[in-house]
Amino acid sequence: MARGELRIYLGAAPGVGKTYTMLEEAHRRIERGTDVVVAFVETHGRKHTQAMLADLEIIERRTIEYRGARFTEMDLDAVLDRRPEVAIVDELAHSNVPGSVHAKRWQDVHALLDAGIDVLTTVNVQHLESLNDVVARITGVEQRETVPDAIVRAAEQVELVDMTPEALRRRMAHGNIYRPEKIDAALGNYFRTGNLTALRELALLWLADKVDDQLDKYRADNAIDNTWETRERVVVALTGGPEGDTLIRRASRIAARVKGADLMAVHVTRNDGLAGADPAELARQRVLVESLGGTYHQVVGTDIPQALLDFARGANATQIVLGASSRGRFAQLFATGVGVTTIARSGSIDVHLVTHERARQGRRRGPIPAALSRSRRIAGFLAALLGLPLLTIALKVGPTLPLINDILLFLVAVIGVALIGGLWPALLAAVAGSLLLNWFFTAPIGRFTIAEGQNLLALAIFVIVAIAVSWVVDTAARKTRQAAEAAADAQTLATVAGGVLRGERPLLALLERLRETFGLDSVTLLEKGAVVASVGPAACERPADSDVEVTADGDLMLLLKGHTLQASDRRIVEAFAAQAAVAVKQERLATEAAAAKPLAEADRMRTALLAAVSHDLRTPLASAKASVASLRSSDVQFDDDDRAELLATADESLDRLDRLVANLLDMSRLQAGALGVAAIDVGAEEVVPRALDDIGPDGRLVTVHVPDDLPLLHADPGLLERILVNIVTNALRYSPPGRPPIITGSSHGDTVELRVIDHGPGIPDDRWDDVFLPFQRLGDRDNHTGVGLGLALSRGLTEAMGGTLTPEATPGGGLTMIIALPVRGMT
């Protein structure tokens, strides 16, 4: 059975018309004779959307009871039994009520697709997992319902339902999205023009990436190698040299000229695994590329121009940035170089050759390291000096052999010397062997002259072959040693990266790994003479105190103490230094982020406060003003009962306003750490009745079970009363009729617990912490029942008195709030 196809309608914000457009498509398919059913559609009370459901077959929802409340969800089993050709499933990111078949609606959709049913669904860009934090920073609202990007990207079709911010705000103002009482708050917060513009751009960019993936797949499926200039992509080639910074910045400027252009840096590594580039430079240049918004890549190839072009074509690049050749003019006579070859093979890709300080200055090569150790070279010279005379004696004493056999035996001896000592002992053996062959075995014997031309040719061939074999053996030995060193370096760097990534303190982990790797006494990172970090018993406070000093980045310097390092090891240390500089920046950014978090939280609170008070201050003020205005009016004559009712309304509204302002002031004091606490020894049986009296008539409904012999609490009576008023009011709001809240008290060692128990719908365990966030209300984003400060303020006040406020599930359904405070004499 073929799997069903998924079509997603993507929107930038609620109200752009995703569900309406989806239902339009449902009607079109029905007109074409397709069997379509509505598995789940949420109209949100929008009349135009409700009208689109007419004449559509709707599968009845499933009712689920959870914590004493009833919820409706899509009946997955009923849809599977019905087996339509197409199912309409709204709100892909929705979280199902516990007790459903799956935790997430997108999992329900997958079950329908696996059953061969096509699905039409909707999702907003703020619900995409990869954009969740970005949207939260833009709007100040964190979306808790998300869908993995891979689910949306896997859809056969993703259609953007787009609307300009101005048009969407007009729809909001006309009441086509939210109820009238929510419009002002929405327009002043989430639906601000800047927010909508940013969300729209996110949706367009995300969809552009999806389209880009589809284009790449199409090109790969159809073996299309030539570049399609659908988007500017600039590739900069890095060699690991100091000119890389210039190339990266030039490529970044080229990419910045076009909106949405991509910057990619690539380094081509030789496929023999030998080190060719400076790892420290590459590590630093990678950081520079990523800081400019680009990406870093590394590919392997023998033919560098071809490997570079293969990468560029695979990435659908439009431009390549290369550095001008640093090879001298003489060297360029024998080989054209990477730049010229790349230009000749680039085809439709534009290639920029960028000059730099090292252009045409020739390559500065360091001394070529010996292929073999010193002891091996000495052994090779001894073998040449002793072995060749012994071979000569053996051949003179033994039976006479043809000259060609003598030459072959000497050639074997030269190869043996090359294997033992490398190039220079082998060259000595080749020259000495040719002289010995000429003097002892070539006519005329005993003279360095050669009578026959063919013997001269044989000796010449011997010398050439001996030198060539010696060179090959020496080169192979050098390559083997370099490969082993490169493998060891790679293993060291991989170990470093793994250790740093797993560590909680990356900088200290990096320095400790460096100390262990090279057996050092201490490693210190200095910045302008000050110690940034150090590991080991004796930190170096000055460069003069160290054995090795390596510049990390700018003012940062890495000091090593214990012993000096070989030149080959210094390159690895430079890579460590570059990573240490990155780790310092990361730790400082993390510190800055932590310092900015309270400021961001305060800003978020202020934003939420403005949204909340627009309704919560206005409502009691409006009620009080209307009551007072009515009493002052001479147009209507009120009797005593009406006058008393108006006064009571005004009094109740002003009391509500007073509580709201008091909560706001106390929350501000808590945030600023300026709340005064006057703790005394007080009995719970004294505070609880006063709190219930403050609540008013509803407070008399609460059942109280507080023992008279409960130990005295050490608390501020006024603050404790405020805490109880907030918690009990919240419990009364959600308690079902006939089952009022209960307050109990008990002693547990050095604490007293007051429990406020309700039997309402309760809160899922994973959402307990959410109710203590200011301006948050579970399952409700409006503010028609208050600004949501009560529980947040209650926890803050409790903790200010040295206690705790924690939630607990009520057996049989509901929520229990536990106030734990210290008893007398325990503070």
d(CA 512, CA 507) in angstroms, rounded, equals: 9
DSSP 125: G
d(CA 389, CA 391) in angstroms, rounded, equals: 5
- Listed in sequence order, the residues at least 6 apart from 31 whose beta carbon sits closer than 8 Å to its beta carbon are none
Nearest to 791 by CA among 819, 826, 753: 819
Nearest to 298 by CA among 271, 318, 326: 271
Nearest to 235 by CA among 296, 174, 184: 296
Neighbours of 2 (CB within 10 A): 5
- How far out from the chain centre does Cα 38 lie? 37
Q: Is the dihedral of CA 224, 227, 229, 234 positive or negative?
A: positive
Host H or E run for residue 548: strand 548-553
Q: Are 434 and 489 in contact (CB under 8 A)?
A: no
Three-class SS state of 126: helix
Q: Which two tokens stand for residue 276?
A: 């060719």
Q: Can you list the positions of beta strands (E) in 61-205?
A: 62-66, 69-73, 86-89, 118-124, 157-161
Nearest to 371 by CA among 421, 415, 427: 421
Nearest to 151 by CA among 106, 116, 196: 106
Query: Measured between alpha carbons, how far apart are the two ends of the chain, in Å?
Result: 70
d(CA 321, CA 233) in angstroms, rounded, equals: 11
d(CA 60, CA 65) in angstroms, rounded, equals: 16
Task: State the alpha helices, DSSP H only, in 147-192.
Answer: 149-153, 165-173, 180-188
Q: Which two tokens stand for residue 242?
A: 């100091």
Q: Which two tokens stand for residue 787?
A: 């600004």
Bridge-based pairing of strands 703-705 and 742-748 is: parallel
Q: Are 647 and 624 in contact (CB under 8 A)?
A: no
Phi/psi of residue 295, nearest 5 degrees: -125, 150
d(CA 469, CA 152) in angstroms, rounded, equals: 62
What burial class does residue 590 get, using C-beta atoms within 10 Å of its C-beta: 0-12 exposed, 13-18 middle, 19+ buried?
Answer: exposed
Q: Are 290 and 275 in contact (CB under 8 A)?
A: no
d(CA 337, CA 610) in angstroms, rounded, equals: 65
Determine what percent of the chain falls in helix, strand and coil, rounding each to the nearest 5. Answer: 50, 15, 30
Bridge-based pairing of strands 556-561 and 548-553 is: antiparallel
Catalytic residue among 94, 110, 267, 615: 615
Q: Which two tokens stand for residue 10?
A: 């993507």
d(CA 354, CA 362) in angstroms, rounded, equals: 16
Q: Rounded to the nearest 5 degrees, what angle is found at the Cα of 76, between the Cα atoms of 74 and 81?
A: 130
Bridge partners, 69 (sequence order): 66
Nearest to 165 by CA among 211, 214, 138, 199: 199
Q: Which two tokens stand for residue 210?
A: 């999806």
Host H or E run for residue 646: helix 640-672
What phi-psi label fits residue 696: left (phi over 0), alpha (psi between -120 and 50 degrees) or beta?
left
Q: For residue 677, give the amino acid letter.
A: V
**Is 174 an active-site residue?**
no
| Residues acting as catalytic residues | 615
